[in-house]
Amino acid sequence: MSIEKLKAELIAAGNIQKAAVLSRFFKTGKGNYGEGDKFIGITVPDNRAITRRYLHLPSSQFAMLLQCEIHEVRLSALIGMVELYKSRHTSDAQRQEIVDIYIANTHYINNWDLVDLSVYNIIGAHLLHRDRSLLYRWADSQSLWEQRMAIVATMWFIRHGEYDDTIKIAEKLCHHPHDLIQKAVGWLLREVGKRDLKRLTDFLDEHYTTLPRTLLRYAIEKFPANMRAHYLAR
């Protein structure tokens, strides 16, 4: 079973009607963030089921798949890379290869679902006990997707009780003009707040009067009504 067979199986499972819906949902029209992306109409559960039959293939094969013009094929590559990275049968050297592939191919990880499914499971997991300067370089990048990667990768740290990098990167990105970054920053701040409310309220008390409304609403979504009203009243 080769990577070409995986790609062919994915294409065969496509659905024209679903492809049209996904193309609209992921904003593939001219001037939108997903401009020009191509969908074939496969659900994520179906994609996972197909991809998992090919996990015996090396990560270098998934690297080739990641450069495909079809969105769901790139998603399959990332599903495969995440599964390989997480596997107890994967060596440290193989995990490093997956990380290197990811970093070298961020240009192809170019929509929010691709980022959110993969970055904390690979990059966040890898950096838990390592230097995290990569995330700060991504936060300062001109790439919208690398900027989203920077904040979403910290989900792995949050799940291990570490919040400093989320707060620091949120401070870098909290006035970003794009709603995809505002939503991601608000989401990760909310995740911090679920575990340490004071860390979130300290951040909000310092910044809330100037935060974009979208970011603020995401961050305070789980607050009681009176707390939400306080922050939204500015």
Nearest to 234 by CA among 216, 221, 214: 216
pLDDT tens digits, one per residue of 23-77: 999 999 999 999 999 999 999 999 999 999 999 999 999 999 999 999 999 999 9
The rounded Cα 41 to chain-centroid distance in angstroms is 20
Residues 154 and 174 occupy one common structural domain: yes
Residues 72 and 11 occupy one common structural domain: yes
**pLDDT score at 136:** 98
Residues 186 and 101 occupy one common structural domain: no
Residues 15 and 111 occupy one common structural domain: yes
Among 77, 104, 127, give the residue marking a domain's end: 127
Query: In this model, does residue 82 exceed pLDDT 70?
Result: yes
Residues 166 and 92 occupy one common structural domain: no
**Number of residues that this document lists for the chain:** 234
On whether the CB atoms of residues 147 and 176 are closer than 8 A, the answer is yes
At 234, the pLDDT band (50, 70, 90 cuts) reads confident
Nearest to 168 by CA among 142, 207, 195: 207
Among 84, 108, 127, give the residue marking a domain's end: 127
Query: In this model, does residue 20 exceed pLDDT 70?
Result: yes
Q: Is 209 helix (H, G, I), strand (E, B) or coil?
A: coil
Residues 77 and 145 occupy one common structural domain: no
Q: Report how many domains make up the chain.
A: 2
At 2, the pLDDT band (50, 70, 90 cuts) reads confident
Query: In this model, does residue 1 exceed pLDDT 70?
Result: no
Residues 160 and 215 occupy one common structural domain: yes
Assign 3-class secondary structure to 131-187: CCHHHHHHHCCCCHHHHHHHHHCCHHHHHCCCCHHHHHHHHHHCCCCCHHHHHHHHH
Residues 98 and 143 occupy one common structural domain: no
- Taking all residues of the chain, what is their mean pLDDT, rounded to a whole number? 96
Residues 103 and 142 occupy one common structural domain: no
Residues 115 and 139 occupy one common structural domain: no
Query: In this model, does residue 200 exceed pLDDT 70?
Result: yes
Structural domain that includes position 27: 1-127
Residues 9 and 119 occupy one common structural domain: yes
Residues 195 and 122 occupy one common structural domain: no
| Mean pLDDT value of segment 118-127 | 98
Among 96, 127, 158, give the residue marking a domain's end: 127
| Mean pLDDT value of segment 146-172 | 98
Max intra-chain CA distance, the chain:
59
CATH number at residue 158: 1.25.10.90
Predicted structure pTM score: 0.95
On whether the CB atoms of residues 230 and 209 are closer than 8 A, the answer is no
